Each structure stands twice: as C-alpha cells, then as structure tokens.
C-alpha cells in the first residue's frame, strides 16, 4: 500500500512544507525543506523542528491543487 498525502501546509515563501501522510490506518507528518526531508514525525516533533528554524506554525498556509497530491519520496 502506497502512502497518501492527505493535507499539506507550507510557509508563505514555500521554503518549508509540512505534509500529513497516511498509509492504511497509520498517520504521520513529513517536513520538506529544500532537498531535506524528515519523515515519520509526530506533531510534537514538527513543532520542535519548525520552532528551532524560527517558523511559527500559525504562519503555515494550506496548499491546494496538484502540489498537494505530489509524493516527495518513499514513506
């Protein structure tokens, strides 16, 4: 079963992207920043990584359309 990206948020400049990923009944988060990808994260880990990078989660914006359904890598 392939993973499905259910929801995508990103910073206004699109430099940081947070994806909600699902495979079967399992859900997790993925952060994409440039060529770097952090996978299998909890929401607490997402908050920590973004805070350490100086990003406020309130600044993330929902991504809609084809970009929201793209796969970035193997989950």
- Whether the per-residue pLDDT at 33 is higher than 70: the answer is yes
Average pLDDT over residues 3-24: 97
- Whether the per-residue pLDDT at 24 is higher than 90: the answer is yes
**Ranges of each domain in the chain:** 4-67
| Rg (the chain; Cα; Å) | 12
Least confident interval from 19-23, 42-46, 61-65: 61-65
CA–CA separation, 39 and 28 (whole Å):
8
- Whether the per-residue pLDDT at 75 is higher than 90: the answer is no
pTM of this structure? 0.85
Mean residue pLDDT of the chain comes to: 91
């Amino acid at each position: 079963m392939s993973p499905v990206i259910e929801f995508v948020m990103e910073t206004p400049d699109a430099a940081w992207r947070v994806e909600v990923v699902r495979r079967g009944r399992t859900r997790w988060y993925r952060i994409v920043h440039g060529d770097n990808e952090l996978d299998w994260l909890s929401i607490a880990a997402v908050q920590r990584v973004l805070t350490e990078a100086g990003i406020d989660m309130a600044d993330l914006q929902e991504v809609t359309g084809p970009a929201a359904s793209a796969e970035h890598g193997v989950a």
